[in-house]
Structure 1
């Protein structure tokens, strides 16, 4: 792999907004893409891992998830963002970041930009909305 990859949940409006912020404001050489369009096998990831948290797969094959993945993304960026990523890796900050991340993940459908579909597992989203994200009609 030549480029690091940051993978997020593209079916979640809140997650997509965060990814858009990354793409607009955080200069990084990493690919930022929804897991639904990623070659998970090539990245060594599973759907379950991607549903649980954002994922980082470094160009060197290193992996991280949740706030650790965010810290890696920031560490692969411009100096100010690298400083923020280093701060996120400090043990007391990291210890607080995981519970905060889990709270956000559980409540992302309630956050700005979130939708009710954000709170559902992928299987339920596909059953209700189909693989394209559009509501399915009864047969």
Structure 2
């Protein structure tokens, strides 16, 4: 049985990988970070489609939080003042705004610094240029 939460993220995305590395260095969350491509998603109770859609925080008991709420849980697990920021992200209307910002970033990650081909949206979801 796991004793630490697991952060599942897109390891094919340079922006995502760089963000996780920065967070590990600066925020120092108490978790194991695993790229979705290397994670045993079935053992974590996570559908591959969900892992492709958003970062996930999986508790040792198997509860899964996604997107902005995964970020909130990550911040809540850290030391210092970070848990205050994490707690704020769980409260409406901050929670709602965090969700919108998370989706905006996640849906446009192919345009952000550090992007790779893994960040690209499927052809049927790619906006016209």
Class of the TM-score when normalised by the shorter of the 2 chains = 0.7 to 0.9
- Which has more radius of gyration? 1
Q: Looking at both structures, which has the greater relative contact order when contacts are Cα pairs under 8 Å and sequence separation is at least 6?
A: 2
* 1:68-107 equivalence runs, <5 A: 68-107=69-108
Return the alpha-carbon distance in structure 2 between the equivalents of residues 92 and 120 of structure 1: 29
Q: Deviations over 1:49-73 (max 9, x none)?
A: 0011000101232210000001001
Question: TM-score by structure 2 length?
Answer: 0.88
Gaps of 5+ in 2: 123-129
2:7 is aligned with 1:6? yes
Larger proportion of helix: 1
- Cα-Cα RMSD: 1.2
How many equivalent residue pairs? Answer: 121
Q: Deviations over 1:80-110 (max 9, x none)?
A: 1111101111111111111111111111011
Gaps of 5+ in 1: 122-139
Runs of 4+ in 1 over 4 A off after TM superposition: none
Question: TM-score by structure 1 length?
Answer: 0.82
